[in-house]
Chains A and B, each alone.
Chain A
Amino acid sequence: MSVMSVPLDTKTVFSIDDAPSAISQLERAFGRGADALYRFILVRVARRRDVADDLLQQTCCIAVQQNRVFADDDECESWMRGIARNLVKAHWRSVKKHNGRINLEDAEQSRQLLARLESQTWGDDELADEESIARLMYAITALPSAEQRLIFDFYFDGRSQEDLARELDVSSKAIESRLYRLRGRLRAILDNTERTNES
């Protein structure tokens, strides 16, 4: 339901007459991964929500225009992230000021962060280091939506393994294993050994 429908900054540019399968796949991919896709963008635009809102909507526009069909929803989600990634890059090219932007693609800095995460107990000083937190968020949001959600649910929202196991209808042990593997993937992203949407 659209409560305010005053698209002052929009123009209807064309109509699609025959694209049911692509659109329903996009809908599904967006339905399950909207938050993850949004966070993917948000973290990469220095948390400017207005920009992230805009880029997410542009991502959807482009996705509909492309009218592609994918083997599965994972592939569709990954493709939408690719669009978003390109829009983020275009955004940074278009703005003159890069206030708040951290070069998150600096591989050496990411490796150093990983070393600190693996070798010391973090306290207030580390938590106050916005760049490190941003770099970690960059890695987390590079994960596909389901994995990203598991990390946020467990580590950030404090949900128990048992709770998550019930929700996902798996054993607690399976959740523990998934988290272990996810830490491995985060490690690989920070260590720049895993190809991501940024690569």
Chain B
Amino acid sequence: MKPSNDADQHFHDNLQTIGRQVPVPNGVSPHVRAECAAQLGSSPGSARVTEFTRNRKLFPAIGLAASLILTAGLLFMWSSGPTVQAAEILAALNEQLQDSRLIELTIDSLVIDEVSISGNIQISDDGVAGDINVTVTEGGGKPPIHVDASLGLSADGGWVLVRELDIPDPQVQAILAFLLPAGTETLIMLPKEMLDRGFHHDIDEALQALGSESVAKVLEEIIASASDTGMTVTPQRDGTLLLTIHFDDQEAIAAMGGVVAQALRDSGLGDFDDIKSDEDIEDIENALRDEEDLQKLVGGTVNIVYDQDAGLVRSFSVEDIGEMKGSVTVAIRNGSIDPDLLDASRVTTASTRTLDLAALQSMFDGFDGNSRAARKRIGAGRSTDDD
């Protein structure tokens, strides 16, 4: 039945009101999109299909391992790994993170497969800021992709200072040429509308996704069971405890998985109520022994600095796990990001451009096969140095 004009006008007006107040539900994140595209787009003859094992009992122990690796890997910015498990196991850190509201990732010569990353990134509910240097060596004699950049993102706006950007692919070069003058350090200002709507929500979600209950119970259980898992607990001069976990072999990982599972069961955390009996924990240990992918953890080391008096983890560091060489330290602190790190006016550069969202969309559309049209549309983007 056709609506009356009044009814349709109300509907239209209300949709506008709602649209102004309610953020658009998140689209798919880049790393999930990339994983899906990889599954769908593998070349004929070599397409590999991945099946996700959703064994809830396996989750806590695999999740711990995954979380350590993912934390190391710029947790929500670059990883394409199993964020599901990472986020859920880090759930135990929630209370602490909610109070602290600032985590700092220090990445030192981290190499994962063909990707090398160094940098320092601070994340809090004020925003995200830091420096990052990424090199991707594709092999086959191809020149590497290299990005050296700083960024500051907050609800008030954002910027990315691209100091170096080397991308050998001529098609990508052609598209980026409209955004970035070749060979010039460029400050790209991100429009406020790109960040204000839902930005706080996203950061909040990212931090809150890390958990729902206290880490202290779990860590205390782990400390109490250290002798079973080959961990060492060393009191430090400053009163903190240094937990060192070295994954000598897969058995050590399985044992630790069992301990973590037991700790989670005993902690009564709602998310882990699938773990009930000793048999459940044994199942987890056995599964971890058989899990080929966990071989990647063997040889790695995790250090956790735990302030027992305060019941707080001060930092994690992860070294040389599997294909990941180098180290990552994750510090958890009180406070907020240094405002200077978010302030674009402190950046002096020869070239400044303002990103045009429509142009950006066109740029990605251009990858679907119409790059000429995309390049034409990108030409609509503004640049202050051209003015």
Interface residues of A (CB under 8 A from B): 1-20, 23, 26-27, 30-32, 34-35, 37-39, 42-43, 47, 49-51, 53-54, 56-58, 60-61, 63-65, 94, 96-97, 117-122, 126-127, 133, 136-137, 141, 151-152, 154-158, 163, 167, 179-180, 183-184, 186-187
Contact = CB atoms under 8 A, between A and B. Distances in A.
B5 to A, nearest CB: 11
B64 to A, nearest CB: 10
Contact of B40 (A9, A23, A121, A167): A23
B169 to A, nearest CB: 11
Contacts of B193: 157
A6 B293 contact: yes
Interface in B103-149: 112-113, 115, 117, 134, 136
B136 A1 contact: yes
Contact of A9 (B22, B84, B209): B84
Given A3-B115, A96-B273, A117-B14, A16 B83 contact: no
Contacts, number: 234
Contact of B36 (A51, A56, A118): A56
Contact of A13 (B51, B58, B134, B293): B51
Given A34-B36, A96-B273, A158-B19, A57 B52 contact: yes
Contacts of B279: none
B66 A14 contact: no
Interface stretch (B74-82, B309-317, B333-341): B74-82
Interface in B35-66: 35-42, 44-54, 58, 62, 65-66
Nearest to A34: B28
Kindly list the 3 A-B residue pairs having the minimum CB-CB distance in the complex, ordered from nearest.
A35-B27, A155-B19, A38-B28
A99 B22 CA distance: 21
B275 interface: no
21 contacts: A2-B113, A4-B31, A5-B113, A6-B82, A11-B53, A12-B51, A15-B48, A23-B47, A30-B40, A34-B27, A34-B33, A38-B28, A57-B39, A57-B50, A60-B36, A94-B54, A120-B10, A126-B14, A155-B15, A183-B8, A187-B11
